[in-house]
Amino acid sequence: MPVRILVILVLHAWLPAEAHTSFRFNKFNASTLYQIGNPSIRSGAICLTNQSQHMSTRALYTQPVGMKHSNSRNTSSSFSTTFVFAMVPSSSDPPRSGQGMAFIITPTKYPVEQSSSHFLGLFNSSTIGKPYNHLFAVEFDTILNKEYLDINDNHVGVDLNDLKSVKSEPAGYWIDNQIHQLDLNSGQNIQAWIDYDHTRQQLNVTIVKSGSPRPQKPLISLKMTTLSNIFEEEMYVGFSAATGTVVEDHCIFAWSFTTNGSAPELDLSHLPSLIMRKDSNSRLIAAITTALILVLLLLVAAVVFWWKRNKYRDDPEEWEMEYWPHRFNYKDLHIATKGFRDEQVLGCGGFGRVYKGVLPANGLEVAVKSIFKESTEAMKEFIAEISSLGRLQHRNLVRIRGYCRKGAKFFIVYDYMPNGSLDKMIFDKTKSVLAWAQRYRILKDVGAGLLYLHEEWEKRVVHRDIKSSNVLLDSGLNGKLGDFGLARLYEHRGDPQTTRVVGTLGYIAPELVHTGKAAPSTDVFSFGILMLEVACGRRPVDSSLDSSQMVMVDWVRELYVKGRLTDAADPNLGGEYVEDEMEKVLKLGLLCCNPQLEARPTMRQVVQIIEGEVSLPPVYLYEMSGGSSKSYPSTGVSYASTSNSLEGR
């Protein structure tokens, strides 16, 4: 015999059986695997458990596999396997499941005697945990057994000679760095990969729904330095389970395995499904039930869709087509204000509430004014505001973004003013004191806005509700006049044609009691009160003070007569103000509050005086004569007669 052939024969005799093993089963038959415990073959799948009696079952590759590396008897071989399995619990009510199943690498074909479902068909009470088992398993466990430190009743674990896993994780798979749970006992087909690289001593276990791409990140990644002690030279590979008192199906549909390489890919296109394996009557009943449920759901969905569509729908009326402001969808405002929650409320009034909101379309912060009064007057105020402010454009007027009408509910959307209203900045003790320079600039801002309304727009607008709470401040503390719910428009040479007295106590011009007709001069009166309010830091009427100080304008006039005008300055300013400006504001405020409307300046004259373009001439100072008193109860102000002029004080 040639020497070369003799050497080959000798080497072959010393090599372990199946030094390199690779196989693939896309379906099974009775001769494919070595079967212990009578597992059954159904539709090309091998089912480990379908018995009601106590029995351990195994399905193993027929030949032993060499699990020691060919270059070193102390080094375990690399291996790779993938398989598709499914587990279905019993049909009892409620459903119950056994313990699950396991992929195993074992030195012996046969399970230990008297092993049970309690031990996955791997051990009994005397052999569990013993090193002589030389058993490696990856368990797919569907029961919580605290004795073996199970983490839950749906997990994957790596076992070495024991059911206390060296590592386990809740069943699931990774996609985009996010774990997705997977129910092992759902009956759906699941593909598993188990790979061991002996050079890196790295074990990876991955599972995912059958037919899905293999996740890049494994469910379990474990450094395994002891497999060389577990593996013998020849081992059997396969699957183990055990039946108990629960009728169930644990089936393998396809399987491939290789040593020192990657497991061959499986053909998943024609695999059966345990979920679909039901008798025809059950399928028919389920189909009818499903169809009825779908019809019911469609009806419910249609009703809900119709309700939601009509909930947020409101067809425009003819008058709405006349005004350019954008009409908002009610749904958008509902989203913007978080469903009009109380924590979004910025303020309340007789009209309703003002909510802070963020428009979903562009993230713009807005204030949403609600008008919930179900009355003709509410509609008039709503129309007045969007028809006036909606077309006005001035830096010192609050900009309207649009409006919405939903039945009897009206909404107006404005730019959000982060610093709130002027009255809160002056009277809220929790806020820092508003400096004089800022107050003076705000008066200039409001004056400029009123001049635009009275003279510079295409029509004349009378605001009719000038007061500190209707002056809003943006992020730069610039003053902007808002709330045009009482405003009236008319031609510059026309008549306002109104006989209803409206406004706020303390700001109403006295002639309104007699005529009921608002005019630019009535706005001038209210602006005069606002000027005194800002300079004095007190409200127009304060019932907590004695009668001589209760009405602010009377108190300021009296101080002027006594030559102590600057005593009216807000004490919170601590004397930090420009005296000439303080005197100018107080005098001009008194001039604007002249009870004789003919003696009041126009807003153009007021702005010119505030801006310093003209001085305060004698012609603008009022003087009441005749020694009589006039009372205007609608304002709560009594104007006593005096022969003194403001000039020279």
Q: d(Cα 169, Cα 158) in Å, to the nearest integer?
A: 9
Q: d(Cα 176, Cα 198) in Å, to the nearest integer?
A: 28
What does the DSSP 8-state code read for residue 310?
Answer: H
Question: In whole angstroms, what separates CA 147 from the centre of its chain?
Answer: 43
Q: d(Cα 225, Cα 562) in Å, to the nearest integer?
A: 101
* Helix or strand run (H / E) with residue 385: helix 376-388
Q: Contact at 8 Å (CB) between 103 and 79?
A: no
**Could you write out the DSSP letters of every residue in 511-566?**
THHHH----HHHHHHHHHHHHHHHHHTS-SB-TTS-HHHHBHHHHHHHHHHTT-GG
Q: Which amino acid makes up residue 87?
A: M
Q: Contact at 8 Å (CB) between 417 and 398?
A: yes
Enter the tokens of residue 471.
């002056």
Long-range contacts, 33-36 (Cβ 8 Å, 24+):
33/59, 33/60, 33/61, 33/62, 33/238, 34/58, 34/59, 34/60, 34/61, 34/62, 34/109, 34/236, 34/238, 35/59, 35/60, 36/60, 36/109, 36/110, 36/111
CA angle 233, 158, 80 (to 5 degrees): 55
Q: Contact at 8 Å (CB) between 180 and 173?
A: yes
Question: How many CB atoms sit inside 10 A of residue 548's CB?
Answer: 9
Burial of 544 (0-12, 13-18, 19+ CB in 10 A): exposed
User: Omega before 94 cis (within 30°)?
Assistant: yes
Please choose, from the candidates 560, 351, 578, the residue with its C-alpha nearest in 3D space to the C-alpha of residue 443.
578
User: Taken in order 289, 291, 297, 303, is the CA torsion positive or negative?
Assistant: negative
Query: Could you give the count of Cα atoms lying within 13 Å of 179 in the half-sphere of its Cβ?
Result: 11
Q: Contact at 8 Å (CB) between 222 and 167?
A: yes
Q: d(Cα 401, Cα 389) in Å, to the nearest integer?
A: 10
Enter the tokens of residue 40.
């059954």
Q: Is 465 a catalytic residue?
A: yes
Q: Contact at 8 Å (CB) between 635 and 505?
A: yes
Residues written for the chain = 649
Enter the tokens of residue 520.
């630019």
Q: Of the listed 465, 483, 523, 554, which one is catalytic?
A: 465
Please choose, from the candidates 585, 584, 504, the residue with its C-alpha nearest in 3D space to the C-alpha of residue 537.
585
The catalytic site residues sit at 465
